[in-house]
Amino acid sequence: MNVLVTGSNGFVGRALVDRLLDEGHGVGIWLRPDAPAARLESWAARGARSFVETPNPDFWQPSNDSLRFLETFRPDACVHLAWAKRSREHRHDPDHYTHNYAVAVRLARSLTGSACTRFLGLGSQSEYGRHPAPLGLSTPLNPDTAYGLGKLMAGLATERLCRSSGIAHAWLRLTAAYGPGETGHTFVGYATQRAAAGKPIEMSKGEQRWDYLYIDDLVSVVMLAIEKKLEGFFPLGSGEAVSLLEIAQRVALLRPGVELALGRVPYAPDENFHVCADPSAVRERLGWQPRVTIEEGLRRTVEGR
């Protein structure tokens, strides 16, 4: 299968491209003009092809260069992971529902008339807003950040464009992913980076309970989804929420001597104290089950620093 991947420089993108190449799939890497060229040389040596998207005067329309690349690469599937300004301090930035949204729309338009038969986008639990119960298929969508709104808009728009072109569309609303190589966008990434550097883990009291999915399990879901042409919008996570205090304590046990600086970071005014997905719909449709426990995942993450 030929798979087009955006966001290959990100944490999830790197792991997905490696898995695709390991399993013998053709990989096309779609890059922004300002994207770093990390790992491209080693991927190219394994057969991956890359394309740097050139700007179009009409920002909403695909460029002729991108259409020519699709004609020659002939993707069977597209996995859209690219998303700028994902860090916590940018969650209210309007670029999420302007620039990032437009990039997703332009990509979906590029695929119209191509060989692509399936599209998978990585959404976010932020599309739901704050909910005390596990996120399920019937959970209302009420984003309270620009990031969540942009993801919601992108999912709906790409679904409409794909449907009109006969392309199977799936949108996975992920809680959070973690694992070796994660750069600190999540609490797990931050805590393991601090521990690896021998620095105190400065945090709140850690009463938040969040659902983390190990990177290998996430990549397995994506692979199954494009293989089986999954269609629809789905919440995705491990199905278990763990307190940030417990995560920090487990990390500290794996790095003896690391200080837990509890209460040093105040809760945000809009702090989300509970994030958990009900992944049963994805599990039933794909025959998938998370394999890596939080204990094992944290051990691998700490050892991988």
* Stronger pLDDT, 181 or 22, i.e. the higher one: 22
Domain boundaries, the chain: 2-176+215-236, 179-211+239-303
Residues 6+ apart with CB under 8 A from 146: 91, 92, 93, 94, 95, 96, 97
Q: Which CATH architecture has domain 2-176+215-236?
A: 3-Layer(aba) Sandwich (3.40)
Q: Looking at the chain, which runs of residues are DSSP E strands? A: 2-6, 26-31, 49-52, 77-80, 118-124, 168-174, 177-178, 201-202, 209-211, 213-214, 232-236, 241-243, 260-261, 274-275
Residue 213 in contact with residue 175, Cβ under 8 Å?
Answer: yes
- DSSP symbol at 305: -
pLDDT band at 248 (very low <50, low <70, confident <90, very high): very high
pLDDT band at 113 (very low <50, low <70, confident <90, very high): confident
Residue 201 in contact with residue 191, Cβ under 8 Å?
Answer: yes
The predicted structure's pLDDT at residue 38: 64
Pairing of strands 49-52, 77-80: unpaired
pTM (two decimals):
0.94
Fold classified for 179-211+239-303: UDP-galactose 4-epimerase; domain 1 (3.90.25)
User: Cα separation of 212 and 162, whole Å?
Assistant: 29
pLDDT band at 32 (very low <50, low <70, confident <90, very high): confident
In terms of Cα–Cα distance, which of 157, 155, 103, 164 is closest to 128?
155
